[in-house]
Structure 1
């Protein structure tokens, strides 16, 4: 069963890496990197991964190495970061709300340049607009049930590219605004933010998942505490703060158990 899951994961990664034409940097000793990185895995998984790596061809080895070299985080790190940077996280929330035009929801994430891959810095940005009460559905609109209309959804845009400039111009932003958001995120030690009735701030990617904070404007009531405390993707932390884990296409879909 584990071997099947491993094969499916490799296939998934193969498609995505090839699509982006990402390669390992020339100065990387892949075998040494694998031997060091595989030690981070649970002991019961190391044998399968090592066998698969040693028996694979060059491309299969790279896919496997890419997978186990992905960033890691945890619920404890999520909590520690909040306690250490409460003021910076609140400032990020407040200042970002000022930058987003009225009736718009903007989700932005900055992905740094990879140290082991040829992947450069990238920015993903999704723009939505609140639908007017009497606004009719357009047949070409992406259908949503949350009262938002999709304006644009863009992943892996390059900084200072014409494509990125066109996207941010649609909401009146400039590269200076992006620099300001990036600075605020860095100060909060976070990677993404989305405004709205509940502000979602991404703390860190972990494998194909993501650890985040959901910040409410007011402390949660008893009904909300129950809704946002299912010990899977949501954990009520305290006051107006909910911890969130969003699972990726492969891997755990819930917070790790203690």
Structure 2
């Protein structure tokens, strides 16, 4: 039986403490590459010799506009899907087309991959909250949610349900996104 990759909350915390500077650099440098009013999620999937699956890249692109405020007076961001691209091969024309839509080159992609590798991470998504994936575990994913400033009390309550989210410190929340099967929440201590 072929086993799926594994990780844990402990791995997530250790990586953050060991790679904090690299993770913050990744967040800052990546945000500079994103066109205004866009959210771009990118994930690099490693080659699997056992499953004979080549290295692949997934890139999802969304645009957003800021609408009038809601009842609380806060502005509302309305998102539109531009493209969703899974399992792109590194040297494919399809990947080049996606990169061109962002005004990126293969060198830009290589820079993002290098920043992710330095931070020991596999994915990143910009936005109001930056989400950086560190590892897949089974069908789930362990990630960091990085806020621009320390969380207020309401955010701490929202992002500390001890299942999908664990408030870690200051502006960092740990996230576990479950997959189609396997554990649904962070493992118990």
Task: Measure, in 2, the Cα distance between the counterparts of 1:194 and 1:88.
Answer: 16
Q: Deviations over 1:173-195 (max 9, x none)?
A: 11011000000000000000000
Q: Distance in 2 between matches of 1:255 and 1:146?
A: 29
Q: CA deviation at 1:234?
A: 0.2
8 Å CA contact 2:135, 2:142 repeated in 1: yes
Match in the other structure for 1:73: 7
Residue 208 in structure 1 maps to residue 142 in structure 2: no
Counterpart CA distance in 2 for 1:133 and 1:85 is: 37
Which structure has the larger Rg over C-alpha atoms? 1
Question: Separation in 2 of the partners of 1:164 and 1:201?
Answer: 21
Give SS of 2:16's match.
helix
Which residue does the alignment assign to 1:141?
none
What is the aligned residue count? Answer: 182
CA distance in 1, matches of 2:158, 2:99: 34
1:167 aligns to 2:107 (yes or no): no
CA distance in 2, matches of 1:246, 1:190: 15
Aligned to 1:113: 47
**Structure-2 separation of matches of 1:161 and 1:236:** 40
Cα shift readout 1:140-169 (whole Å, capped 9, x = no counterpart): xxxxx9621000001100001011111111
Tell me the distance in 2 between the aligned counterparts of 1:116 and 1:217. 40
Task: Tell me which residue corresponds to 1:52.
Answer: none
The root-mean-square deviation of aligned C-alpha atoms, in Å, is 1.3
Equivalent residue number for residue 25 of structure 1: none
> What whole-Å deviation, never above 9, does each CA across 1:70-94 have from its counterpart, x for those lacking one?
1100000000000000000000000
Structure 2 segments unaligned to the other structure (5+ residues): 69-75
Structure 2: how far apart are the matches of 1:160 and 1:253? 35
Does residue 62 of structure 2 align to residue 131 of structure 1? Answer: no
- Which of 97, 112, 119 is matched with 1:181 structurally? 112
Matched position secondary structure for 2:85: strand
CA distance in 2, matches of 1:227, 1:126: 26
> By percentage of residues, which structure has more strand?
2
> Match of 2:156?
225
Q: So what's the TM-score if we normalise by structure 2?
A: 0.93
Higher helix share: 1
Answer 1 or 2: higher relative contact order, Cα 8 Å, separation at least 6: 2
Query: How far off its partner does 1:132 sit?
Result: 5.3
